[in-house]
Every structure is written in C-alpha cells, then in structure tokens.
Amino acid sequence: MNTNLLTNTDVKIPEISLGCMSLPHEKLTSHAIIHSAISHGINLLDTADLYQNGLNEEMVGEAIRDKREEVILATKVGNQIRPDGSGWDWNPKKEYILEAVEKSLKRLGTDRIDLYQLHGGTIDDPWEETLEAFEILKKQGKILAFGISSIRPNVIRKVMGMNPPATIMMQYNPLDRRPEEVVFPVLEQSDTKVLVRGAFAKGLLINKEAHEYLGYDAAKVKSVQDFFNSFDISPEALLIRFGLNQKAVGSLVIGASSVKQVERIARSYEESEGIEEDFIQAVRRKLPANFYHDHR
C-alpha cells in the first residue's frame, strides 16, 4: 500500500487507515479485524479516549500487544468524561492533556503514541497552552507527532499559523465537498496531511437507504448514490480514489466491523489504483458542491 510521510517524523502512514470506533464490543472479533487490517497494510489504527469510555483504546492495545512495531497508533484527547459517567465536557487545557495522555498510554499498553490528536476545537480555545502541551509530550518522547480533528476553516487557519500539526482530520466525500473550497487549498501549500473520515458517507453512497444528509434531501442523496453505482467500478473503489485524489489527503480513515469488510476495503483500494485522474475529474464535475457557512 502506498504511504505518506508525516512531517518531521520517519512515520509513514498508509493511504487507508482503520477507524477503530466501529469495532464491535466482542474482543476476539475486534482483534481479528485489527490483525486482518495489519496484514493488508492498513496499519494506522485510529482510536480515541472517548470511544467506549476508554475501552476501545484497551481493546486496540490488547490486539497489538505483540505487534506494536508493526502499527502506527493514533488516538485523541480533549473530551473529558465526567466522574459520574453522565457525559463529557470539552477540555483542551494543557494540564488536562498532560494528564490524559498517561491514561491513554496505559490503556494502549505502550510507551508512545505515534499521532496524538486534539478531538475537536474552537476558535476561542486556549491554543497557546494546547499546542505547548503537545510540544512537551513530543520532547518527552510520549508522542511522535500531533494532529487536530476539525472541519472549521477559522480554526485550521489559526493553528496552521501558530504551529502546523502533522495531520488534520476532517470529513470529506462527494456529499461533503466543503474542504475543497478553503481548507484543501491552504493545506496543499504545507506538509500537513489530511486524515479523511466519512469517505463513504456512512454507507449512503454504497448501499444504505438514502436519507437527508448535510442539507441534501433523500431524493438528491439517492441520485448521487445511483450515480456512484452506475459504473463498472465498485462504488467503494471510486470513493477511495475520489478521496485520495486530493493532494492534501494523506489517508482515508475507514471503519470496519468485520473481517469481511476489511478484506473488501483492501480489494477496493487495489481496484482504485487503476482509476485514471481524468475519470475522477469527470465524476467531480457532475457532483453538487457545498460550502462552509459557519466558522469560516
């Protein structure tokens, strides 16, 4: 599988990564999914301390106990779970990040996190101390690189002007082309790579029943779904190439809840490599465009 280098590291991330939020609660099944992904070169595992209140990190850590050097571990911080378990609160402060990383390291059973990501962010966050926390952790060797997860152009511009992250995670697919307007052009001029989530639009562009999505009514979603299923190329392969065709994109983070899904993703990636640039551009011209209205 093709890879992209994370800036200021020797870490090479695969063009397809495994989103671990979709892993089933049954450990043996989840371990099998992770092992299958690794065997197919899908060796960036993306989890978060929020997923299943930390149990997702534990499950990932157990699955890679004997495979740590084969994988790239990515997790997220910023959503502080309340002591009573009633929910969580946003906390991007330095003190919390330095405390939370220790718990993630323990759950993951490792001495380092390859990519530590802020799980959100607003323009009013205390970015100086947030970014300072990540730099402290890099100097301590507890993380190799940091990223943010944000779809907000104003936040992305601010952080890029202060301390460019190795990665920015955001949603991108044919029904959500908002990053094309502002964010991709900015990031194409940098070494920061985009981690794409939602590349399949939650299955809406493959085989799930059409429903309203980002302002598009069900009929419009169905028309785009039919379009992607009208070729002699699998919709998964077409969607993978659609995402990877963007210069700023480093990897598509795709979830899987079974080994069969991992195998299908791997086959679709191989199929996608035969799709020509001109074909993707022709597909893009026939699709609707949308734009950011907030947080510009």
pLDDT digits (tens, 9 = 90+) for 269-287: 999 999 999 999 999 999 8
**pLDDT score of 175:** 94
Residue 201: per-residue pLDDT: 93
| Res 265: pLDDT | 97
Low-confidence ranges of the chain (pLDDT < 50): none
The reply to whether 51 belongs to the active site is yes
**What's the pLDDT score for residue 82?**
86
Residue 290's pLDDT is what? 83
pLDDT for residue 243: 97
Q: What is the pLDDT of residue 213?
A: 92
Q: What local confidence, expressed as pLDDT, does residue 176 receive?
A: 94
**Distance separating alpha carbons of residues 178 and 215, to the nearest angstrom:** 12
| pLDDT for the residue 289 | 84
